Amino acid sequence: MLVTRLLKTPQSTFFLLGPRGTGKSTWLRTIFPETCRTDLLSEETYQRLLANPGLFASELRAIPVGSRVIIDEVQRLPNLLNEVHRFIEERALQFVLCGSSARKLKAHGTNLLAGRALRRFMHPFVPGELGDSFVLDDALRFGLLPVVWNARDREETLRAYAQLYLKEEIQAEALVRNLAGFARFLPISALFHAQAINMSNIARDAGVSRTTVAGYLQILEDTLLCFRLPAFEAKLRVRERKLPKLYWIDPGIVRAMKQSWGSVQPEERGVLFEGLVAQLIRACQDYAGLADSFFYWSPAETTETEVDFLLARGTEFAAIEVKSGIRFAENWCRGLRAIAGLKGLRRRLVVYPDGPVLKTEDGIDVLPFRIFADALAGGLLWP
């Protein structure tokens, strides 16, 4: 199935980052079908340039001035960025530097391109890209990674994806010394999806040290499978500081890491749905400039009142509460009513799986997920 992605193409050199399976290479072949390409996922190409990096410069000299060049999986040979830098200057070449891990790039010279390369991110599918083929229950069960969504056997593909992550991203790149410890850590970290990060608890359950857990979490972020959502702090007082929440970028990956198969169970549905909304916000933030930043809100004076997401744009805020129930209930709005006095708050919303569009007497919008998703992608969140 051919899907039109929401990502817009920059007119200059840019990094295109995203986890494996998000469709980066497919998108690039569609957008730039005739462009010169160096695919470092090809073992033959990788070994050839590893043994003789000078060949890369020779190949670039043969390309017409001002041409565009794609380097796929650039993090495998980050030293090539030295030549990228040189040929941007000498021959005005434009590069698309595609990668599934920011770890080696951060360590090996991404700063060489400071001011010369934009950063773009490819995310799993969002509902607006899939149109009528989007089914919420399927998204929660299998996720929205293109490599999985388009597969004939989605469950089998998810199993293979989880194994491939350990084998190719972690073992092959030697990102951890204790692969067994990391393998124990993965399902435990998946249990903390949409929860505040408690490193001590994760360390105890995984049988590794707290500092090791901190390193493992950084690997999940660097390989672009997870992100941390900070707590909003209107006044930076240390005693009020809350732990960040951990979100995986896809419900299917969460379930695969937990070895949870079959239909989504009721106890899973809430966190999977919340994570899906979190990832949708993040994608629309990158694709459409939805917000400058986003947080969760949990006031210091109580641990029972919270708002799932607080989006910031300049001095304005939008508060979003996510509920997985079937029918709207007034108690869903408790956190949104508690945050009503926040200066600059322009909109309060409840998002739930499906049902009618509603509005409470005090102005809280209640939207089914699909309408909410279309509003985000269309830039209609802000009044």
Q: Where are the domains of the chain?
A: 14-121, 127-273, 275-377
Helix (H, G, I), strand (E, B) or coil at 73: coil
Query: pLDDT tens across 102-120, in order?
Result: 776 766 555 556 667 888 9
Give the per-residue pLDDT at 238: 42
With 0-12 / 13-18 / 19 or more C-beta atoms within 10 angstroms meaning exposed / middle / buried, residue 240 is middle
Q: How many CB atoms lie within 10 A of CB 48?
A: 13
For the chain, list residues with pLDDT below 50.
236-239
Give the per-residue pLDDT at 34: 79
Give the per-residue pLDDT at 107: 63
Give every CB contact of residue 162 below 8 A, 6+ residues apart in sequence.
186, 253, 256, 257
Helix (H, G, I), strand (E, B) or coil at 213: helix
Question: What phi and psi, each to the nearest 5 degrees, are found at residue 350?
Answer: -110, 135
Q: Which amino acid is at 346?
A: R
Give the per-residue pLDDT at 208: 87
Give the per-residue pLDDT at 239: 45
64: alpha, beta or left, given left = phi > 0 and alpha = psi -120 to 50? beta
Length in residues, the chain:
383
Give the per-residue pLDDT at 236: 47
Strands 226-229 and 316-322: unpaired
Which residue do the tokens 């079937």 mark? Answer: 326
CA distances from 255 to 26, 156, 188, 233, 282 (A): 25, 12, 11, 32, 20
Cβ–Cβ under 8 Å, residues 193 and 246: yes
What's the CATH superfamily of 14-121? P-loop containing nucleotide triphosphate hydrolases (3.40.50.300)
Rounded Cα distance between 123 and 241, Å, is 30
Question: What phi and psi, each to the nearest 5 degrees, are found at residue 369?
Answer: -55, -45
Whole-model pTM: value is 0.92
Fold of 275-377: Trna Endonuclease; Chain: A, domain 1 (3.40.1350)
